[in-house]
Amino acid sequence: MSRFDLKAIASDGQTPELLGDLFMVISMLNSVDEVGIFLRDLLTLQEMTMLARRFRIAVMLMQGQSYELIEKRMNVGSSTIGRVSQRLENQGDGFRQALDNLGEKTRLMDQLHQADSLSISNDLLELASRYPLYFWPTELAVELVKKIGETKKRKKASSHRKV
């Protein structure tokens, strides 16, 4: 990413509004694909890779992995790991929240995959990939109501055939 003067940014008055707009736009995107397309338009491949690498380093640090292992796996220097570690120690709430959300989404996706093997429709899996997590309770409830209705109809139809 390009270098900039933090003092100039803090005093320009536009930065909070600009960042707010950016954060809002990103939060309103509905899928990983949409975020990827947006970021490819906004950032260079090198910038995206650098951000992704920092996040991966933070995850590895939170998992308790050593600097040496991170250096080897991520092909970065100890100074990069140190900067990420310092940010994680001094602030780090964003890293932790992102990791928690990622873990929660992974758990939900695993549950959906297990449910799919129990004959719950692929529509639910598609729902998980199309909508952000905050839409899921409503959409999931609608999907479950549909599935319960379909199951009742099948049971009713099969009980009528047996008679």
Tens-digit pLDDT string for the chain (163 aa): 445 555 555 566 777 888 888 889 988 988 888 888 999 999 999 999 898 888 889 888 888 889 999 999 988 999 999 999 999 888 878 888 887 877 776 666 666 566 555 445 566 556 566 655 555 566 666 666 777 777 777 777 777 666 5
Query: Both 87 and 118 in a single domain?
Result: no
Q: How far is CA 13 from the centre of its chain?
A: 30
Q: How far apart are CA 76 and CA 80, in angstroms?
A: 7
Overall domain count for the chain: 3
Residue 127 within any structural domain of the chain? yes
Query: Both 105 and 87 in a single domain?
Result: no
Domain carrying residue 11: 1-42
Query: Both 22 and 77 in a single domain?
Result: no
| Residue 8 tokens, joined | 């100039």
Residue 50 within any structural domain of the chain? no
Residue 49 within any structural domain of the chain? no
Query: Both 80 and 26 in a single domain?
Result: no
Quick one: pLDDT at residue 17? 84
Q: How far apart are CA 45 and CA 36, in angstroms?
A: 11
The Cα angle at residue 146 between residues 142 and 110, in degrees rounded to 5 = 70
Residue 47 within any structural domain of the chain? no
Would you say 57 and 70 are in contact if contact means Cβ atoms under 8 Å apart? yes
Residues in CB range of 62: below 8 A, 6 or more apart: 88, 95, 96, 99
Query: Both 117 and 155 in a single domain?
Result: yes
Q: In 67-135, where does DSSP find H-type helix?
A: 67-74, 78-90, 93-117, 122-130
- Report how far apart, in Å, the C-alpha atoms of 104 and of each of 60, 97, 134, 142, 155 are: 18, 10, 12, 21, 34
